[in-house]
Structure 1
Amino acid sequence: MPELLSVEGLRAGYADAVVLNDVSLSLGQGETLALLGRNGTGKTTLIDTLVGVTTRYKGSIRLSSQPLEHCAPHVRARAGIGWVPQERNIFKSLTVHENLTAVARPGAWTASKVYEMFPRLSERKENMGSQLSGGEQQMLAIGRALVLNPKLLLLDEPTEGLAPILVEEVLKGVERVARDEGLSVIIVEQHPHLILTISQRAVVLERGAVVHQGAAGELQRDNALLNRLLGVCS
């Protein structure tokens, strides 16, 4: 499988606060990676560093062999990084359809294709962003990242605060994106059982460093390791 993302020796944080220490990982084209760890271990900081909104002290980030570590966030977006932050950051004063079409770039993903994946959004396409439920806002945030037609989709806690039925709907959409569309995805999640089943690989962070990486299925089946790394038994 061709390598899409390569991160080597990454050290980063916010201003003078170093959060990530010597983080290295890679991701193949079409792979989904579960990025796991307890609270405060650096998962969101790693996502933010890939996007370009932290202070990078050393290390390299390459997407399709293109160096990105010195690039501004908008350049990284043009290079193919799509980002759905925890805050979702949809345009609440615009309609669902305006949210999708205002930022769209040419490519396979269009507003119509997003509506096909998330029928709830099609039913609410004329609703303002502020009128959507939390789950609908999350679907819209994912859709808005997709219509940028990225190579890599970064999802930071996509199921946080959602009702179980909406969690299932969101994760089915993410699984389709990777399985059927060949998009690479990194998902940050507090609950490993939700995403290990739809991921090929898993990385666990502890105190800003990688303490485990390997096949997601193997980690899911190893209850003792899950408990030791994450304090859970799945």
Structure 2
Amino acid sequence: MPDLFSITGLCAGYGEAAILHDVSVSLGEGRSLALLGRNGVGKTSLINSIVGITRRTAGEINLGGVALTRLKPERRALAGIGWVPQERNIFRSLTVTENLTAVALPGPWTPERVFAMFPRLAERKRNLGHQLSGGEQQMLAIGRALVLNPKLLLLDEPTEGLAPIIVEELLRALKRIFMEERISGIIVEQHAQKILKMTDDAIIIERGRVVHAAPSATLLADPATLQRYLGVTHQAGPPPSDRAA
């Protein structure tokens, strides 16, 4: 079976600055990928390249048999890309419900399903976007991506800057999205050990290049590699046996 998503030999950046160098990634249907690396190594640039907001100089990007490389960002969204950027990009002047219904496309994910996953949003469905806390805005951003019913969900640092209790709530939701709903996705996340427990595969980027690729469970059990590339000095526990790829 062909991959759902693939990047081949991608070189990209901003203006004259080259950030990504010969990056190749593939992802099967229903698989999830942890995109790891230290700050400033090119993780967000890779997400932005998939979305279509970098300058590509080489390489191809394909999703479900559709060549994304020359499509504008809005056409990539229609082709099946759901994106949760660091900035969240919710409609701050619309209510929670309006944020969801304004972008919803036909499919299994509806505003009602989002409210079931995030009860905080259900309680605030009539609140405007700017009236939500940072954590609630992030839940709404994830919900907005889900109601697009995407083929591929992209999340860029979804727990950054949030209170620990909100981080745990979001991680539980992400675990459901990837492990139970089996939505295909790529997630950039600083909590490497936690996200490795709920994804199938992982790659590590350094200086714009993929320097390590492995099943998530294998990387989680490899403290030397975690320390070398990510500065992780201890493990949070053994990887779950049912996630060994």
Matched, 1:181 2:153: no
The CA deviation at 1:224 is 1.1
Q: Find the counterpart in structure 2 of residue 149 from structure 1.
A: 149
| 1:30 and 1:179 in contact (8 A); partners too | no
In structure 1, what is the Cα distance between the partners aligned to 2:63 and 2:185?
13
In the alignment, the residues of structure 2 paired with residue 181 and residue 24 of structure 1 have an alpha-carbon distance, to the nearest angstrom, of 26
**C-alpha distance in structure 1 between counterparts of 2:42 and 2:57, whole Å:** 15
After superposition, give the CA deviation of every residue in 1:177-203 in whole Å (9 maximum; x if it has no partner).
222323111010122122111111000
Correspondence list, 1:63-74, <5 A: 63-74=63-74
Which deviates the most, 186-195 or 140-149? 186-195
**Residue aligning to 2:120:** 120
Q: 1:119 to 1:2 in 2, by over 3 A?
A: farther
Tell me the secondary structure at the aligned position of residue 91 of structure 1. coil
**Residues 42-51 or 189-198, more deviating:** 189-198
1:53 match: 53
Aligned match of 2:84? 84
- Equivalences for residues 1-234 of structure 1 within 5 A: 3-234=3-234
Supply the RMSD in Å over aligned alpha carbons: 1.0
Distance 1:106 1:48 in 2: 25
TM-score w.r.t. length of structure 2: 0.93
Q: How far did residue 2 of structure 1 move?
A: 5.1
Extract unaligned runs of 5+ from structure 1.
none
Q: Distance in 2 between matches of 1:176 and 1:223?
A: 26
Q: Structure 2 regions of 5+ residues with no counterpart?
A: 235-245
Percentage of matched positions with identical amino acids = 62
Structure 2 CA distance for aligned equivalents of residues 29 and 172 of structure 1: 22
Distance, in Å, in 2 between the alignment partners of 1:78 and 1:198 is 27
Which amino acid counterpart does residue 210 of structure 1 have in structure 2? V
Q: Is this contact kept in 2: 1:10–1:23, CA < 8 A? A: yes
- Alignment-mate amino acid for residue 53 of structure 1: I
Does the 8 Å CA contact 1:226/1:233 hold for their aligned counterparts?
A: yes
**Matches of 2:207 and 2:102, distance apart in 1:** 39
The whole-number CA distance in structure 1 between the counterparts of 2:119 and 2:3 is 33
How many residue pairs are counted as aligned between the two chains?
A: 234
2: CA distance between counterparts of 1:145 and 1:29? 18
What SS does the aligned partner of 1:176 have? Answer: helix
Equivalent AA in structure 2 for residue 64 of structure 1 = G
For residue 7 of structure 1, what is the amino acid of its counterpart? I
Counterpart residue identity of residue 19, structure 2? V
Amino acid at match of 2:36: L
SS at match of 1:3: coil
CA contact (8 A) 2:179 2:198 kept: no
Deviation (angstroms), 1:33: 0.6
TM-score (normalizing by structure 1): 0.97
Paired AA for residue 121 in structure 2: L
Segments of 4+ in structure 1 off by > 6 A?
none
Cα distance in 1 for residues equivalent to 2:178 and 2:226: 24
